[in-house]
Every structure is written in structure tokens, then in C-alpha cells.
Structure 1
Amino acid sequence: MKKSLMALGSVLMLGGVASAQKVAFEEYTLENGLHVILHQDKSAPVVITSVMYHVGAKDENPERTGFAHFFEHLLFEGTKNIGRGEWFKIVSGNGGTNNANTSDDRTYYFEVFPSNNLELGLWMESERLLHPVINQIGVDTQNEVVKEEKRLRVDNQPYGNLFSAVKENMFKKHPYRWAPIGSMEHLDAATLEEFQAFNKKFYVPNNAVLVVAGDIEYDQTIKWVKQYFGSIPKGTTDLKKTVFTEDPITSPIKATYEDPNIQLPMLVTAYRTPSMKTRDAKVLDMISSVLSDGKSSRLYKKIVDQKKMALEIGAFNYSQEDYGVYFIFGLPMAPTTLEGLTKEIDEEITKLQTELISEKDFQKLQNKFENRYVNSNASIEGIAENLATYYLLYGDVNLINTENEIYQSITREEIRDAAKKYLNPNQRLILDYVPAKDKAQN
């Protein structure tokens, strides 16, 4: 009886946590098209001001890749009213932090300040939008910064070109075929006018969402938003996204990539999957958890722990706005070959396609995703980025409150059926990611 009461108490506590995670927000759109989302949280005297722009690597000219990521750096150079090199000094001097990041689909900038500097954060983001200084000295400076980042994070990083090697084989028509870091040759060849035109086209209020979250007062925040952003002109360029449709993969794609920074080959199998906005994308998230999330997962337990055929194994669904890629990778342990490792992985996928996972494993899976949901909204920074993402890429801000319900409604049958639909041998890339030949001979 005591154990039953304790179990009931745990369930009630879990329900309380999930309920407490409901995120209240207000949203509206300025006349210039800027969408605004406000979230009040007075648990700490902190505020985040953030802007997400609907521009990423997929919006680039194929002969000028890397522009979206380049702007993530370039737009910290300064503005008409913020001197060159002063941005970071202003932020740190007022007790704040800031950062930015770029994906194939969007670019995101944010500052975290003590709440008494909310107006400063809004002014700075409005300056970035209204008065950026894009000149040759800034372009030349950031060109070197981006080159160094590519050397450190990609070129000289073991397995650093994994995503690029997969994407260039998985996509033939869609701009997802190149990585956000882009081509240094393309950046070198670009003119100042091309950078200025990219800014004029994409960095406009009607291509962005402003999220203000934290210790705020709604009335005052609305007043400041209008004051600093309301007069910014709406963009005049057509921002309609081009639709790229890939032909279905109906026979295996085989490719090899040689990496001079590795000693151990890696097996990679990859499957093209649907947009992150689909229910199937969420089912595939759950499948990746079944296969490789933790030491009790199927692939790890069988291939790494029991058979000791690999040093590492993993699976994940890389969801994006238009398409996704489902990755399965492994580092085989001698004498296991890449072919032998593929065979073992395929056996586990076949089980998913033909057998329902157990009720016990299914409950464990649901608990994991419940926990992920709670953790994703555990910080004000996480909430702000989620609000921006759900609006800009999903078209539904309230998914921040309802997405977990979708995961919890997924059935064991759907998991089996999605594995059948997307994870078939004739629908995949098999990539041998191996040491460079000259390195292997040394």
C-alpha cells in the first residue's frame, strides 16, 4: 500500500511539473510586418531580447554559399550608433551576454541582460536591423574570422565534414546539399555590394520575429518595442521561399569520404525524411531514442555492450524545415568491418519494422520525451528560442505548450509503421567515412 501511495504521489508530481511548464505569451505584429512575442517570467531579474530571421544557408545563391553564416558574424561589427568593436563591450559592460547561431533555415541573435537593461537590449537589436554598417573593413575582418572557424571546427576536426559529406549525397536539388559554413572561395569572390544586397533582402522586419522574455512588464515592453522597431521600413523584396522537391531515393546510394584527421573509419547510413513540421518527424525522433539513446538502447546494448563490435553507435533524426535526414553511425572495432556493422544495425531496424516495442519500453520512451519537454523550457533562454522557432519555422507558437502532447499521443504501431516507411535499405545512403589514403599509408 505504501509503495502504491508513493507511486501515485510521483504521478501527481509529474503532472504538476508538466502543468507548471505551460508557457504564457502574448503575440502581435507591427505594421511593418515584425512579429513580436512576449513572455513574462519574474522568477529572476533577467531578460532576453532576441530576433530570429527567416534566412539560412538554403536561401543562398549556390555560387555564394556561406552568406547566412557570414552575417551571423558580420552584424556584430557595429551600426550607425554603435562603433566598430563596441558591441561586445556594451553588452558585457552592462552585465549581459550575447550570441548568435545559424542553421540551414534561420539565423538567431540574442542578448541576456539584467532586467533593468531591457531597453538597452531592444535598442541594440533595433540598431542591428535598422543601421548596420556593412563596409569592406568589416567584411575583410569577418572573412578571416570565418576561415579560422572553419579550420578549427570543420577542416581540422575529426569527422568534422560528416554532415557535409552526407548532405551533398542526399540532396541534388535542394540547397540543403551544402553546409551553413559554406565555401571560403565563394566568400572570397563576393563583392561588398553582394553582402549589402543580402542584408537589404533578408534583414527586414517582415522576415523576422522578436521575442522578449523574462522579468518584463507587458505595457512598458510594448511601448519600447513600438518606439525602437515600429519605424523600421518594411522590406520590399519578394521573400517567398522557393520550393525544392527531391526525387525519391529508390536504390542505395554508395559513397566514400576521406578524412585526413581520423584513424578509425566510420560507418554512416542516412535516410531522407519529411519536414520537422510533420507528425512522422516526431515518430522518427522516438525511433532514434529506441535505437541509441543511452546504454540500455537497442543498438548500444547489442553492438557496443554485448557483441563489442563498435566503440560507438548512434542514431538521430536531424529535422529541418523542408526535409530531414535520419543518421545512423558507428565506429567499428576490429575485426568488425563496415559491412558487418551495417548487417547488425539492419537487424535491429527490421525488428522495429516487424515487431511492436514492448509496453514497458514504450512507457520508458514516453517518460523520456516528457522529461525532454520539461528541460527544453527550463531556462528563459530556452523558452525564448523555442517561441521564435515555433513561430518562424512551424507556424504555431503554441506548440511550445502542445508539442509534448503530440509525442505522448504517438502509438507503438506508428513507430513500427514509420520504420517501415522511411528506414529501408533501398532508400538510403551508405557512406564509408574513412581515413585519407595518404594518411593510412603513413
Structure 2
Amino acid sequence: MKRKFVTCLLWCAASLAALAQTEGNRIEFTEYDLPNGLHVILHEDHSTPNVAVSVLYHVGSKNEVEGRSGFAHFFEHLMFEGTENIGRGEYSSLVQKAGGALNANTSFDRTYYYELLPSNQLALGLWLEAERMKHAKIDEIGVETQRKVVQEEKRERIDNQPYGSMGENVFSLAFQEHPYKTMPIGSFEDLNAASIGEFRDFYKTFYVPNNATLSIAGDIDTEETKKLIEEYFGDIPKGTKEIPRPDVVEPEQTAERRKTVYDNIQLPAVIQAYHIPAQGTEDYYALSMLTTLLSGGESARLPKALVDKQQIAVAAASIPFPTEDPGLFLTFAIANMGVEVDDLEQAMNAEIERVKTESLSDREFQKLRNQVESDFVQQNSTVAGIAESLANYSVYYGDANLINTELQRYMKVTKEDIQRVAKEYLTKDNRVVLHYLPQSEKPQQ
């Protein structure tokens, strides 16, 4: 009884600490829309003389039409080609000369551009992003240049990388109808077949103010920044095309799907992917905490059991994909030398079953909560992280203030919730399984 009482006190203390942390470090922000539909979020933070300028376009690979995959990722590259007022290839040099850095990324659901600059270079970041939005250079030279760049990226990161095709194989096997069946990088064939007119139409449809969120965090004066935003973005016309949002619902999977992939590897691997609800749902938070339980650090269950104790794997992890529509929960392991792939899969299954049948100890659950809290705080410990989080919360959830309150959703998850979602979603009929084997083991035709 005494032990239970102490544990209860620890849980209460942790919950209060999380609440105090959130309130004590509350991230204040200003949020508004321009008449052209551009959504703006501003966070003023004078702790360092830096500023993050970011634009999130609500377009990812799931917005592409059949036969024209890879457009969103292609535009991630193409939009650095220059504009009517910025020479080809000058984006990077302009930012670097100002002492900053820039980058972009594309997912199933969004494309995200950002500059990290000294705060006295805020106007530069705004000008660069306004130019990108107003009149990006989409011509034959840029398209052909970036076609080659994207093709080389695919060869380097996927085709010639051990286990590099994992994403393509997992998602194409798990999704039969939903656009998530195609990875953001797309295919050479689709990009090569596209005309310049199709690229320009894609730009005019998605890269418009009413499909964008401008999120700025750092050493700024909010009122002065509003004036600059009006100066650079105010005259950009609202998009006139309807922005397509896919409403495809993936049919419920009722039987396990399996595939064997022969790759240029030496060690076999097992990948298991389970269908799970979309980000932001109650069960997603429990599944996310389950992921941390299974692979959040060297002492987590999967690496501890498979790598340290049984020594049948050289690596093991679990990953939930945070997607706008229902997505996937992945577990994977790379076999140790001489270990059969079937034995590795059985060991992985055993760890999943252990979550379903054995209750978490109070100590393990408290450690899990502490780690989730730490990860959440670290995610928003820089102006770059804050700018991105504010944009994500606004676009995906319609509530930028989740940057201050989402941690409480995690803290509401109980031990029973984690066990329940493991039983409900991590089932054989709800998963796909891939075995990656060395090319040398491929049967002769």
C-alpha cells in the first residue's frame, strides 16, 4: 500500500511538473490572416538575436494525381531555381552571405521551406519567401535541371542505399487505395512524362497564399514584422484554382500481407507495419507513447531484448508515422550475423505480445512519461522548432496553441491505454511484413 501511495505521488508530481513547465514556459504568439488568405503566426523571443522564417504549403504527395507522382517533392527543389528578381541558384548564396542557413522538406502532407537568419536580416527572409510565392521561375531549364537533381537524389538515397527501398515497399504494400501508397519522391517515369504546362498548373494551384502558413519565430518586433509582411506579401493575389483535398478512405485490412525483397545487403531485416489512426487522435497519442516504450533509447524494449539480451539483431526500433490521414506504425530489426530472418521475426512478435499481455511496471511507465515530456520540451527549445510546431499545429489541427497544451494529451494516456492500443492495432491481420534478404539468397530462375 505504501509503495502504491508513493507511486501515486510520483505520478501526481510529474503531472503537476508538466503543467507547470507548460505554463511557466508558455509560448506566446500572434495569429492572423491577410486578405489574400495567407495565414500568419508570429512568436516574439528576444533570448537570441536570431529569427526563423518559414512557409508551410499544405501540399504533399497525397495531393498528386495518379501518373504524376513526385510533383510536391520536385517543387521542393524547383522553388530554389530563382524568380523574376532572384537569379538561378542565388537563394542559398544570399542566405549564406547574410550569415544564415536555409532548407526545405516534403512529406505526404506538406512542403516546408525555412530560413534561419540573424534577426537584422528578417526582411531578407520575407523577401525570399514572397518571391518564391509570387513568381517562382518555372521554365524548361529549371525543370530539366531539377529532374536530374531529383533522379540523382533517388539513386543515392533509395536505389543505391542498403534497405533504401524500405519506404516504397512498405507503403505500396500497406495502402491499396489511399495516395500514401506512393512515397513523396515519386517515380522517374512520371516526372519525365510531365509537361511544363503541368508543372506551372501545379504551382498555380498549390503555391498560393490561401494554401500557405507563414510562421516566424525569434528576435522580432511583432508590430514592425506585421508591416513588413504586408509590404512583401500583401499584393500577392489569392489563388483562383480549387485546391484538391483527397478524400480517399483506405479499406480496412483484414489479412496479413507479406513480401520478400532481395537487396544489396549483407544482413537480413524484418519490417512490420500496422495501420493506425491519424495524428491528433486519442489513440495516436497512446501509440506514440508505445513507440517510445519500444524504442525510445538504448534501454527501450526492442533494442534491450533483441540487441542486448538475445543478441539476434544489430539494430531494432519502432516508428509511428505522424500523418494527416490514418497512417502506419513500423517496427523493424536488422539481423545479427548468422541469424535466420524467421527467428528474428518471432523475437519481434514476442516483444509485441509482451506489451499486450504484461502490464507496464510503475517505474517503467513513469520513465516513459518523463521521456515523452523531455522530447516535447526539446522539440520546442529553439526558434526553428517553435516556428515549425506553430505551423504544423495550425495546419493539421486548426489550433496553433497546441504548442502549449498538447503535452497534456500525452500525460492523459494511461498504462491501460497503451496496452489497449497494442491489442487493438498491432494485430496480424492489420499488418504487412517485409523480409529483406541479400541478393545472394534470391532463388535462381
What TM-score, normalized by structure 1, do the two folds share?
0.94
Q: Letter of the aligned partner of 2:396 in structure 1? A: L
In 2, Cα distance between the equivalents of 1:16 and 1:401?
A: 11
Q: Does 1:320 align with 2:323?
A: yes
Contact in 2 for aligned 1:43/1:215 (Cα 8 Å): yes
Query: Which residue pairs with 1:102 in the alignment?
Result: 106
Query: Which residue pairs with 1:370 in the alignment?
Result: 373
Assess, with a 3 A threshold, how the Cα gap between structure 1 residues 120 and 253 changes in structure 2: closer, same or farther. same
Q: Does 1:78 align with 2:78?
A: no
Bigger CA drift: 369-378 or 391-400? 391-400
Aligned-residue offset at 1:17: 4.7
Query: Which residue pairs with 1:263 in the alignment?
Result: 266
Contact in 2 for aligned 1:34/1:210 (Cα 8 Å): yes
Task: Please state whether the residue corresponding to 2:215 is helix, strand or coil.
Answer: strand
Aligned-residue offset at 1:18: 4.3
Aligned-residue offset at 1:335: 4.3
Aligned-residue offset at 1:330: 1.0
Give the alignment's Cα RMSD to 1 decimal: 1.9
Aligned-residue offset at 1:124: 1.3
After superposition, what is the alpha-carbon deviation per residue over 1:288-334, rounded to whole angstroms, capped at 9, x for unaligned? 11122223222222222112121211112112110221111112225
For structure 2, the 5+ residue unaligned runs are 1-5
Aligned-residue offset at 1:234: 0.9
In 1, Cα distance between the equivalents of 2:200 and 2:243?
A: 16
Q: Letter of the aligned partner of 2:80 in structure 1? A: F
For structure 1, the 5+ residue unaligned runs are none
Task: Please state whether the residue corresponding to 1:319 is helix, strand or coil.
Answer: coil
In 2, Cα distance between the equivalents of 1:18 and 1:24?
A: 11
Q: Which of 345, 370, 380 lines up with 2:383 in the alignment?
A: 380
Assess, with a 3 A threshold, how the Cα gap between structure 1 residues 292 and 34 changes in structure 2: closer, same or farther. same
Contact in 2 for aligned 1:263/1:440 (Cα 8 Å): no
Query: Which residue pairs with 1:424 in the alignment?
Result: 427
Contact in 1 for aligned 2:52/2:115 (Cα 8 Å): yes
Contact in 1 for aligned 2:82/2:137 (Cα 8 Å): yes
Q: Letter of the aligned partner of 1:168 in structure 2? A: S
Query: Which residue pairs with 2:188 in the alignment?
Result: 184
Aligned-residue offset at 1:19: 3.8
Query: Which residue pairs with 1:304 in the alignment?
Result: 307
In 2, Cα distance between the equivalents of 1:92 and 1:332?
A: 43
Query: Which residue pairs with 1:229 in the alignment?
Result: 233
Assess, with a 3 A threshold, how the Cα gap between structure 1 residues 88 and 296 changes in structure 2: closer, same or farther. closer
Q: Does 1:357 align with 2:343?
A: no
Q: Does 1:404 align with 2:428?
A: no
Aligned-residue offset at 1:81: 1.1
Aligned-residue offset at 1:438: 7.7
Note the 1:5-16 alignment, pairs <5 A. none
Query: Which residue pairs with 1:130 in the alignment?
Result: 134
Task: Please state whether the residue corresponding to 2:305 is helix, strand or coil.
Answer: helix
Aligned-residue offset at 1:164: 0.7
Query: Which residue pairs with 1:254 in the alignment?
Result: 258
Assess, with a 3 A threshold, how the Cα gap between structure 1 residues 241 and 269 changes in structure 2: closer, same or farther. same
Aligned-residue offset at 1:347: 2.1
Aligned-residue offset at 1:346: 1.8
Query: Which residue pairs with 2:119 in the alignment?
Result: 115
Q: Which of 63, 66, 83 lines up with 1:62 in the alignment?
A: 66
- Number of residues of Structure 1 aligned to a counterpart in Structure 2: 433
Task: Please state whether the residue corresponding to 2:385 is helix, strand or coil.
Answer: helix
Q: Which of 159, 163, 169 lines up with 1:159 in the alignment?
A: 163
Q: Does 1:31 align with 2:35?
A: yes
Q: Does 1:203 align with 2:194?
A: no
In 2, Cα distance between the equivalents of 1:440 and 1:360?
A: 49
After superposition, what is the alpha-carbon deviation per residue over 1:179-221, rounded to whole angstroms, capped at 9, x for unaligned? 1111011111111111101000000111010011111101111
Q: Percent identity?
A: 47
In 2, Cα distance between the equivalents of 1:14 and 1:54?
A: 31
Note the 1:87-98 alignment, pairs <5 A. 87-98=91-102
Contact in 2 for aligned 1:167/1:178 (Cα 8 Å): yes
